[in-house]
Amino acid sequence: MRRVIFNQKGGVGKSTITCNLAAISAIDEKKTLVIDLDIQGNSTHYLLGRKVTDPDRTIANFYKESLAVSLFGKSPSGELSGVIHETPFPNLYVIPSHPEMEPLQGRLESRYKIYKLKEALDALQGFDRIYIDTPPVLNFYSRSALIAAKHCLIPFDCDAFSREALYTLLAAVAEIRADHNADLNIEGIIVNQYQGRANLPQQLVNELTDEGLPVLQTKLSPSVKVRESHSGSKPLIHFAPDHKLTEEFLALHEELHSPRQ
């Protein structure tokens, strides 16, 4: 199962949701891979506790190799296995991002390498679940992720700006589905930073649900514990297993993997 966590708006919790769902998946004895396509490297740091400074051991190297056939006249390996890192957590692995991804974008786009990630994931063996963290913009890397994935999760924080951005995002996903990936589906909208006692979040969520959008039942509360877990480089299931927000992530994971009616 391949999931992409995507939103064109920054600060909505993409990396937090990616890493915490992946960590719970690993606890559930599923061999799980996180692919960090955001050059900020938040998922990389969250799971490894450090930035990976050697670009030859990151997703940047995979993309550089995909250009090698045209730059140097040699065939690229097209494999991801050489850039997969074990994390400190059993069953959980990560392909780190790297700042070298940024200058590669133009060349990758001009040589139409948009399907390389999908082809590599089709060939990759041994993982039960794959989560792809994306940059907060619709660029080459986020398009590649949407083409490579089967399911799209959309984090949503409850404000009017996020709502307007959501409609733009839904249109972008529909275009990717129509042009590149007919199998892509929006698995759900994850309401993040939800304050259940405030009127505006309740109103926004109710309106989205009334519009027929796939708002997931489980909502994630705001908590300082998230920042603490980031600093400790431990997803919440390891950092604070009994915390309310951890329980919400567990419920979200269960909702995603329960048989749908």
pLDDT tens, residue by residue, 32-89: 999 999 999 999 999 999 878 888 999 999 999 999 865 555 555 568 999 999 999 9
pLDDT at 261: 43
Into how many domains does the chain fold? 1
Q: What is the CATH number of the domain that holds 209?
A: 3.40.50.300
Q: How far is 261 from 219, CA to CA, in rounded Å? A: 19
The whole-chain average pLDDT of the chain stands at 92
In the chain, alpha helices (H): 14-27, 42-48, 59-72, 101-110, 116-123, 140-148, 160-179, 199-210, 224-232, 236-239, 244-257
pLDDT at 12 over 50: yes
Arithmetic mean of pLDDT, 234-246: 97
Q: How far is 52 from 55, CA to CA, in rounded Å? A: 7
Find tokens 């199962």 and name the residue: 1
Arithmetic mean of pLDDT, 208-218: 94
Backbone phi and psi for residue 227, each to the nearest 5 degrees, phi listed first: -65, -40
Q: How far is 117 from 147, CA to CA, in rounded Å? A: 8
Range of the structural domain that residue 47 is part of: 2-257
